[in-house]
Structure 1
Amino acid sequence: MQTEQEQEILNLRDRQLTPKQIARKLGLKVSEVSTFLISHAEQTALASAEKGELLPVVQCLVNVNFADALLRNETTEAGGLGLVMVTRSKGYNRFVVTSYLIDYWCLGVKDAMPPRNCNDSQYKNLIEHSYSPFMQQYEEISLEQAQALVWGAIAYAKKLGFQPHRDFEESKAHLGEPTSEISLKFGRNGKPYYIEGPYDDTKKIINTLRNSVGDGNFDYLYGIG
């Protein structure tokens, strides 16, 4: 394959054409186009890794209620939980995905999924499964917004005395450090609001809030069910 053809394949791929469409336009075999795209993506990912750079971002997602409450400052009574998903490319049809379950009213990062490798169909299934508790209502956001949501929740929770879930340590490099200063307001009605979860040490959490902000400066709800 000539250098000019390789560049034309990349140009057409940037225009979101499929390997089959590219092959038809350039008079090539689909297998030739697919093989080149896979090889090029792997070489690009390897070069980035050697430089200590993160893999390129494919997509960042968040459930709509979380975006409404934090990114658009709209009033919502959706329970204070949000899910941020960050996906990076590891090559053609190969992805690395992490997700972060956020209690944006109080506890910060309640859970985190360490980097998971998947192909296109596995990635689509993972999205649907992950956002099914949120009625599958999610939207795409920028990496900067995803970082602001996760790191902002961590900073807010730390002021209250809470650390992120232990699995966050394994997944934070995938998220990357914040690259812009986006100001977000965490908590509910200007103060922490704790809602008991099934695996929480409720007594410890309430005592932590009493020590950090004092009685009367936080709300809580527990004993559901």
Structure 2
Amino acid sequence: MAIDARRRQKAAEKRKKREKSVKVAKAKARAMNEGVGMEAVLARAGEFPIVECVISKGWEERGLAHILLARKLPNERLLVGGWYVDTLCLGIKDAAVLPGIEPADYESRIKPEIFHDKVEFEPCEPELALKITSGAADFADKIGFRPNKRWGESRHLFAGLEP
């Protein structure tokens, strides 16, 4: 009888351990799918494929650029980074990270009016977007202007890219 009780106890412990590991795996997957755990998503941003990178038309002449970079999450939603950049002086004027955006919302709501401006975009290489944003932030910092407070987290969207 004692042997049967030990076997049952071992089997129960094994089952609990297996159930716990399944729960942890499901919680991680849920966090990624629901857009929860922004830090974890941003830390893995470089793993997600880039769907689109665009910049406002005429940015070189004006010295002001709106930039959008969209990456596809495992749940088919988008992780979007947006930057409003003054390339001549102030650097990163505004920055945003938008996790878990539906592709339709991105096209109809985010892209046309990012930072409350009506903007026409043209395709842009992600490396150029990185070069513009980081260059503007560095230049502005040298002359005493700090980048927008969200620049630190938004720059994670450029993970895996070289300027």
State TM-score, norm by structure 2: 0.65
The 8 Å contact of residues 112 and 167 in structure 1, kept in 2 or not, is answered as yes
Amino acid in the other structure paired with 1:156? F
Shift of 1:108: 0.2
Do residues 179 (structure 1) and 157 (structure 2) align? no
Residues 79 and 97, structure 2, Cα contact 8 Å, conserved in 1 = no
Moved over 6 A (4+): none
Which residue of the partner structure matches residue 54 of structure 1? 47
Q: Give the match for residue 94 of structure 1.
A: 77
Percent of aligned positions with the same letter in both sequences? 23
**What is the Cα deviation at residue 145 of structure 1?**
0.7
The 2-side partners of 1:176 and 1:161 are apart by 26
Gaps of 5+ in 1: 1-41, 43-48, 70-75, 181-225
3-state SS of the aligned residue for 1:128? coil
**Aligned pairs, number:** 121
3-state SS of 1:155 partner: helix
- SS in structure 1 at match of 2:146: coil
Higher share of residues assigned helix: 2
| Matched residue, 1:133 | 117
- SS of the residue aligned with 1:174? helix
Aligned partner of residue 162 in structure 2, secondary structure: coil
How far apart in 1 are the matches of 2:115 and 2:54? 10
Q: CA deviation at 1:133?
A: 2.8
For 1:85, what is the secondary structure of its paired residue? strand
What is the Cα deviation at residue 116 of structure 1?
Answer: 2.8
Q: Which of 100, 111, 124 pairs up with 1:117?
A: 100
Distance 2:91 2:75 in 1: 34
C-alpha contact (below 8 Å) 1:101/1:110 kept by paired residues:
yes
* SS across alignment from 1:91: coil
Taking the aligned partners of 1:159 and 1:116, their CA distance within structure 2 comes to 31
